[in-house]
Amino acid sequence: MYPFGRGIARHLPLALLMIPLLLYVVFAFGPSMATVFFSFTDATGIPGVRWHFVGFDNYRKLLFSSDQAERLRSIRNSLEFAFLVVVIQNAIGLFMAVLLNRKLKGDAFYRATFFLPVVLGVTVSGLVWRMMLNPMSGPMGELFKMFGTRSNFLSSYDAAFYWIIFVQIWMYMGYSMTIFIAGLQSIPRDLYDSGHIDGASGWKAFRYITFPMIAPAVTVNTLLSIIGALQTFDIIYVLTNGGFNTRTLALDVYRDAIANNTTADYGLASAGAMVLFLFVFVFTVVFMYLLRRREVDL
Amino acid sequence: MAESKSSAVFRYAVVLFMLCVYVLPLFYLFNVAMKTQIEYLKSPIGLFEQFRFNNFRTAWNQGDFSRYIWNSVLYTSVTTAASILLSLFAAFPIARRYVRFSNLIYLFFTMSLFLPSPLVPQFWLASQLGLYNTQWGYMLLRTGGTGIAFLMFVGYIKSVSKELDEAAAMDGCGYLRFIFRILFPLVKPVLATGVMLTAIGVWNDIIGPTIYLSDTKYQPITKGLFAFFGQYLNNWPLLACGIMIIAAPLVVLYSFIQRYLVSGALAGSVKF
């Protein structure tokens, strides 16, 4: 029952909801849908030029054109980026959450510190790591020297991509950790007490009590990090701008659409966005199915 | 639960190591910011000789930060305030089912997470509507009531008893008045987190201004820092000062409200 009056007052909630709804439809949902349409045209950024439907030409161009090797590497990079980020970020996030969930001196300070990079944002975090990884004078170079080795870090064709992954995990581990901690705090203490009587402690307690109980947090973290990792490109933009074999699908979409202003290719960029969406969709559905089934099994 | 000594040592060792990974880069940033260029070139990773807070003023002036920072303040305050308000307008009726198809609308709003990147048509549309390279256009594009703040509000409002609405309505309180006078103070824990996460998104946005604001006089501080970075590529002390200037406002804000964040307001309410 709606308590706030009848008649015209009854429509106030909907009227106010229409503002965010309209913004969402016009600037987010609508454009997302229109991407499908754009991907089948030869639209460019040049004003006054007529568009035509070109069928699957953009998709063909994306996969089989002269820069095929680069394009395929972008796709492979996207998948590798997502896989490594999801696995490592959540593993460390969960590990740290379990560690900090127990009484530990100064735990609030540790949590706040691990979350700090999210607050600093991608520009600040990215530039800080460009300083740290400066091959000429950065401290990481000195650290490597101590171990008798060296690297060009973000200017290395082999390693730059993995340093970006490292920075990405550095930035968002605290976010995963925070979600895991909230999950851990919702577990009733007496579960562990009764588990203890049954001989479940240490690893066993984690395996049979903790891990099943935080299934919702695992689901949220996995999905958020899969989607985030596949769609992110601002960190790459800040660290290498796609140089040194660090392009991904998401960065390519941006570059095709905007970055090369004179040759902006809306059709090609949209086709890239659709391929990226296909990955996001497939992984989300598969993981949602697997994780939900695990939640129900309890 | 009793704990063996060795495992306590192990836990502190791990935490200490992780703390180093997070704190050392930031300390290094400060260390470099306090040096002169010559001091940096002589010993890039050595400890700074003395505090040189004047470096901040030099960076501020040379990077022309005063121009950029007002844009950032404008964009961040306006879009955060508007987005939070719209998020409440969207979240309250959906959480309470005061509109039809509440669940469907909720699902519809969360879909944007998975959908294809709207980048290309959005850019095209913005150009057509004359939003390109205008301050209002950029703020309009950044404003929305369906982001993380919305998700958190829905989760939180569901946990607030509905009897409150009925009691207030009985006393003659209208819908809008209820939102502003009663709901607003009530959602404070998630409000703090929502405001911060929204503000972080706008303040730190680098891609949005790169796409939509080509004119330097409209660009925010992130673009300013990036330009500064290109210009003074080897003057790391100045750059470090610039980075710290940009990070400062949010870090200060964060230090005030981080206890809300850690209380799990963020996590508990993000559900699919």
Question: Given an 8 Å threshold on Cβ–Cβ distance, is B117 in contact with A277?
Answer: yes
Q: Which residues contact A192 (CB under 8 A, 6 or more apart)?
A: A205, A209, B1
Q: B248 CB near a chain A CB, below 8 Å?
A: no
Domain spans of chain B? 56-268
Burial class, A124, CB count within 10 angstroms (exposed 0-12 / middle 13-18 / buried 19+) = buried
What pLDDT is recorded for position A128?
A: 93
Mean pLDDT of A78-84: 95
Distance from CA of B86 to the nearest CA of A (A): 6
Q: Which residue has the higher pLDDT, B176 or B2?
A: B176
Out of A240-244, B16-20, B56-60, B172-176, the most confident range is B16-20
Q: What is the pLDDT of residues A26-76, one digit of tens each?
A: 999 999 999 999 999 988 877 777 888 888 888 988 888 778 888 899 999
Q: Which residues contact B134 (CB under 8 A, 6 or more apart)?
A: B218
| pLDDT tops 50 at residue B271 | no
Q: At residue A24, what are phi and psi to the nearest 5 degrees?
A: -65, -45
Mean pLDDT of A157-173: 94
| pLDDT tops 80 at residue A133 | yes
Q: Where residue A297 falls among pLDDT bands split at 50, 70, 90?
A: low
The pLDDT mean for chain A works out to: 87
d(CA B90, CA B163): 20
Angle of helix B236-260 relative to helix B221-231, nearest 10 degrees, comes to 150
Q: What is the pLDDT of residues B128-144, one digit of tens each?
A: 899 999 999 999 999 98
Q: What is the pLDDT of residues B6-29, one digit of tens each?
A: 778 888 899 999 999 999 999 999
Four-way CATH pick for B56-268: 3.30.70.120, 3.90.1150.10, 1.10.3720.10, 3.60.9.10: 1.10.3720.10
Query: Would you list the DSSP string of A129-156?
Result: HHHHT-TTT-HHHHHHHHTT----GGG-
Question: Given an 8 Å threshold on Cβ–Cβ distance, is A238 in contact with B176?
Answer: no
Q: Which of B98, B111, B114 sits opposite A13 (nearest CB)?
A: B98
ipTM of the complex: 0.89
Chain B, 25 to 44: residues with Cβ < 8 Å from chain A are: 25-26, 28-29, 32, 40-41, 44
d(CA B238, CA B228): 9
What's the fold here for domain A39-296?
A: MetI-like fold (1.10.3720)
Q: Where residue A263 falls among pLDDT bands split at 50, 70, 90?
A: confident
Q: Where residue B148 falls among pLDDT bands split at 50, 70, 90?
A: confident
Domain spans of chain A? 1-29, 39-296
Query: Would you list the DSSP string of B61-96?
Result: HHTTHHHHHHHHHHHHHHHHHHHHHHHHHHHHHHHH
d(CA B171, CA B200): 39
